A = this chain, B = another copy of it.
Amino acid sequence: MEPTLRDPTDPLIDHAEGQHFLNEAFKVIVEEVLCKGTDATQKVCEWKEPDELAVLLDLELREMGEPRGRLLQRVRDVAKFSVKTSHPRFFNQQFAGVDYHSLAGRFLTEALNTNLFTYEVAPVFVLMENEVLRSLRQLLGWTEGDGIFCPGGSMSNMYAINLARYRLFPEVKSQGLWSVPRLAIFTSPESHYSVRKGAAFLGFGTDSLILVNVDDRGHMIPEDLDEKIELSKSQGVVPLLVSCTSGTTVQGAFDPLDQIADVCGKHKLWMHVDAAWGGSVLFSKQHRSLMKGIDRADSVAWNPHKMLLAGLQCSALLLKDTSQCHGANASYLFQQDKFYDVNLDVGDKSVQCSRKADCLKLWLMWKAIGSNGFEERLFRSVKHTFFYWSVNVCFEFPLCAQPEFVNVCFWFIPPSLRGKEGNADYPSRLAKVAPVIKERMMKKGTLMVGYQPLGDKVNFFRVTVFSPLISHKDLDFFLDEIERLGINL
């Protein structure tokens, strides 16, 4: 049956009605996500089994639309059953907390709904992205260069690898990897898994990854890097790039950039730094020494959506390189006979076509609190971490290692395991503790924190305290609650 057309000359959407709905939805969002969702007396998550949740949400999409009241209830339900990542008891990941200036920037970005590819459709964002990238580069100690916001740090890391490949063998862009010798990418086993994914996606294959040894705190060992580069060369493989990490995901380790830069210089390798997590230390005069040598890098990935609270997604790739590696010169978009400087049409720097504007939220927050505000937040996070844990660590909560940054890795030793360290089954029993406590906390809804094994260390908790919303009371609750949840284990 042919759909019935209303007056075909009139719009199908009524603005007044639409804006009324948006207003109502906004109130629900503020109430459920920003008020209840940040209230320590409310749950951080409302755990439901998947089957049960699917029924509660009534997800099925149908032929007929629904009335406004029903839709507002849906907005409320989505909020209710979602995890409250801005809650003061959410420590599960390296995003947490809310900055209201950033959030306002995100709403504005969504409402403007434009595409960061040409100056004509995104004049403000083109100039703003340039300025934000310039300011981030300045923190690296670079006076020039380039950059782009990517949909996440994994993409930023991939861009860096692709750029390194293009610099060494520009013909690879047209002729592919078949036309060049086998290449090797060096990184540590504690680097982010996206380096591995990137090696596969970009056609190198994961065997192209050479894992460089780390010390017991998780830092890449420059001498081992040097040896492995030499070994690769002797095997006829061309060393391409070292992907260092500033702030590893689990331990928060900072690779020794200065010494790695020496090795890269000696062998003429592209030096990439995955500072997705740790980059924010550059705002702090006290802590920026963790990244000493960053000025010598060729490329840096830095995710302001993590520690800076810019909100997902906000990932900057900063480059010394200014080549047009990714260009494809699409003539329907990047016309060369435009009336303005077509260098402002930045879309050809990207492998995306549609690209969200991820700069405004960071820019607005930066304007609101200034570099000093970021410094204060960073300083406070690190100080909290060091101070709090130096006071509260005890035999019930032994650390896996002294924290270097805001990552704290620790076990909870339940009563039944205390003093049993010598027993043969101790590691296997300890390994089962964190998963059980995790299940209990999720079902109770009082806390969220992650766990994982690493190397020969069995399952331990990793907490990263960086949200400026966290008080000492929340940290006290954190340890007490883990103890309550695990006391009978």
**Min CB–CB distance A478 → chain B (angstroms):** 14
A22 to B375, CA, bound (A): 23
Contact B201 A57 (CB under 8 A): no
A89 within 8 A of partner (CB): no
Are A328 and B196 neighbours in the complex by a CB distance under 8 Å? Answer: yes
Cβ contact within 8 Å between A61 and B135: yes
Q: In the complex the two chains form, is A470's CB within 8 Å of B11's CB?
A: yes
Residue contact A103 to B111, C-beta cutoff 8 Å: yes
Interchain CB contact under 8 A, A61 and B178: no
Which residues 397-443 of A sit at the B interface, judged by CB distance below 8 A?
A: 431-432, 435, 438-439, 442
Measured in the bound complex, the distance between the Cα atoms of B176 and A204 in whole Å is 4
A182 → chain B, closest Cβ, in Å?
A: 6
Our pick among B22, B35, B127 for the contact of A50 (Cβ within 8 Å) is: B127
Chain B residue nearest in CB terms to A326: B197
Contact B61 A367 (CB under 8 A): yes
Chain B residue nearest to A48 in the complex (CB) = B123
Distance in Å: Cβ of A96 to nearest Cβ of chain B: 9
Give, as a whole number of angstroms, the nearest-CB distance from A326 to chain B. 6
**CB closest chain-B residue, reference A375:** B3
- Quick one: closest B residue to A62, CB to CB? B370
Within 8 A of B (CB), among A182-205: 182, 192-194, 196-205
Q: Which of B62, B132, B335, B367 contacts A66 (CB 8 A)?
A: B367
Q: List 19 A-B contacts (CB under 8 A).
A: A8-B380, A13-B99, A18-B99, A25-B104, A45-B123, A48-B123, A53-B127, A83-B121, A113-B311, A113-B312, A151-B152, A151-B356, A172-B205, A174-B200, A175-B207, A201-B202, A313-B354, A335-B452, A338-B438
> Would B71 and A368 count as touching, CB distance under 8 A?
yes
- Which B residues touch A462, using CB under 8 A? 332
Which residues from 79 to 123 on chain A have a C-beta closer than 8 Å to any C-beta of chain B? 79, 81-83, 85-86, 88, 92-93, 95, 97-101, 103-108, 110-115, 119-123
Known A50-B123, A66-B368, A82-B123; further 9 A-B contacts with Cβ < 8 A: A2-B286, A13-B98, A15-B35, A151-B151, A151-B355, A158-B201, A175-B205, A176-B205, A201-B202
B110 touching A176, Cβ below 8 Å: no
Q: Could you tell me the distance between the alpha carbons of A307 and B139 in the complex, rounded to whole angstroms? A: 41
CA distance A431 to B260 in the complex (A): 54
Q: How far is the CB of A171 from chain B (nearest CB, A)?
A: 8
Chain B residues within an 8 Å CB radius of A352: 151-152, 154-155, 194
Mark interface residues in A343-378 (1 if CB within 8 Å of B CB, else 0): 010000001111110001001101111111101110
B127 touches A54 (CB 8 A): yes
The residues of B that contact A95 with a CB separation of less than 8 Å are 113-115, 354
Residue pair A9, B473 in contact (C-beta under 8 Å):
yes
A260 to chain B, nearest CB (A): 23
A479 close to B (CB within 8 Å)? no
Chain B residues, CB < 8 A from A202: 201-203
B9 in contact with A472 (CB, 8 Å) = yes
CA–CA, A432 and B336, complex, Å: 12
Question: Residues 235-266 of chain A: 1 if any B CB is under 8 Å from the residue's CB, otherwise 0?
Answer: 00000000000000110000000000000000
**Are B192 and A379 in contact, CB atoms less than 8 angstroms apart?**
no
Q: How far is the CB of A95 from chain B (nearest CB, A)?
A: 7
Question: Does A394 sit at the interface, judged by CB under 8 A?
Answer: no
Give the residues in chain B near A18, CB-CB below 8 Å: 98-101
Quick check: A120 and B104 within 8 Å, CB to CB? no
Question: Are B83 and A122 within 8 A (Cβ)?
Answer: yes
Stretch at the interface among A26-34, A212-220, A292-300, A480-488: A26-34
Specify which chain B residues have a CB less than 8 angstroms from the CB of A326 in the assembled complex: 197, 200-201
Say yes or no: A442 contacts B120, CB within 8 Å.
yes
Measured between alpha carbons, how far is A173 from B194 in the docked complex, in Å? 14
- Which residues of the other chain, B, contact A379 by a CB distance below 8 angstroms? 2-3, 5
Residues of B near A141 (CB, < 8 A) are none
